[in-house]
Amino acid sequence: MSKFLSIILIATGFVANAQSNVSLDLNHQFDGAPFAYNTVYADDQGRAVSFDRVQYYMSSISVVHDGGQTTDFTDVYILGSANVSNYSLGFFNITNIEEFNFNLGVDYAANNGNSSNYASPHPLSPQAPLMDWGWPSGYFFFVIDGKVDDTGDGIPNKMFQMRSLGDVMLRGVTLMTNASIDLGGSIDLALDVNIEKWIKNIDLVTVGVDHGSSQNNQNVANNTNTFSVFGNSAPTGINDVNANTYVTTDYAMAYAPILNYKLTARTNNLLTILDAQGRVVVEEKGLGFEGSYFVKQELNSGMYYAIFSNPTNTLTHKFVVKR
């Protein structure tokens, strides 16, 4: 009997002290529809708009959990991208999250450091395309690049870039939530990210190339809380993302385009890049189902075909390299 009770106590103690795998499921959307790059939407003034790149930093993450306890996720940073849903926060002694807190942007200490202090794949390490403007300027707290229709023909044609810089751009966000550990020992904290609210009351036609802490960029930062860009969400269903499958090209660097992709269910994929003559120039195994791929080798100018494949699906995307 004593031995049996000991086993129960040991097992109970193990459960009580087991760490949960905490992750964020970020459901990027525009006016309630799943977000995709290069899709044409309408801004709050009814003008056609599309996006090439939406990225942002989350820092100073903490949670209130299990009846009012507070845990700081020290040195945990998220580089959010609008084509990526799932982000791991780490393992913690947590069973139920009641409040989620973070800053939009990079905390003062890190922002006044240097990206070279971090090795890839750390979110604060040097990124391609860039998420910093060198030092002392610091990191881009958010990047919203795209095109807007300024002719009234319904076709986005005029480029805009909003890339915020400066400690003044930091914004704190607090969300009440109720996310609990599942049978697999994980806590998936699901949030909506309403991209249309970031650009609310922003005249995109007049933005142009805006890198800094301008009034437009401060307005975008303020919209984070004024219009509740982040909100609680039902689980994103990231095991079945077929409806949102796409591949687009970020031509911020025409000589080295970046492939943004969201593919079928959570499985590994093979990426094969062919040149215009059908020759294999890149082969990359084990890619996840969503992310951004930067071609690490130099490609000559010309047309290329990126083929993402897994046991159940193949997706082909054409892109151009210009040198």
How many CB atoms within 10 Å of residue 159?
14
Q: Which residues contact 165 (CB under 8 A, 6 or more apart)?
A: 133, 137, 138, 139, 140, 141, 211, 212, 213, 217
pLDDT at residue 17, as a whole number: 55
Give yes or no: residues 77 and 124 share one domain.
Answer: yes
Cα separation of 124 and 115, whole Å? 6
Give yes or no: residues 249 and 223 share one domain.
Answer: no
pLDDT > 70? residue 265: no
pLDDT > 60? residue 67: yes
In a domain, 298, yes or no: yes
Q: Which residues contact 233 (CB under 8 A, 6 or more apart)?
A: 25, 27, 190, 191, 192
pLDDT > 50? residue 240: no
Q: Which residues contact 135 (CB under 8 A, 6 or more apart)?
A: 112, 113, 114
pLDDT at residue 29, as a whole number: 96
In a domain, 24, yes or no: yes
Cα separations in angstroms, 193 against 31, 84, 298: 10, 11, 35
pLDDT > 60? residue 277: yes
Give the tens place of pLDDT for each residue, 125-136.
Answer: 999 889 998 877
The mean pLDDT value of the chain amounts to 89
pLDDT > 70? residue 12: no
Give yes or no: residues 181 and 207 share one domain.
Answer: yes
pLDDT at residue 239, as a whole number: 41
Peptide bond into 129 cis (omega under 30): yes
Domain holding 267: CATH number?
2.60.40.10
Q: HSE on the CB side for 196, CA within 13 Å?
A: 19
DSSP letter string over 262-276? Answer: E-STT--EEEEEEET
- Sign for the CA dihedral angle at 119, 123, 126, 128 comes to positive
Domain end residue (candidates: 179, 204, 232): 232
Domain count, the chain: 2
In a domain, 14, yes or no: no
Cα separation of 6 and 189, whole Å? 35
Of 182, 27, 158, 167, the C-alpha closest to 94 is: 182
Query: In which domain, by residue range, is 34 found?
Result: 20-232
The pLDDT of 4-25, averaged and rounded, is 60
pLDDT at residue 229, as a whole number: 98
Give yes or no: residues 279 and 170 share one domain.
Answer: no
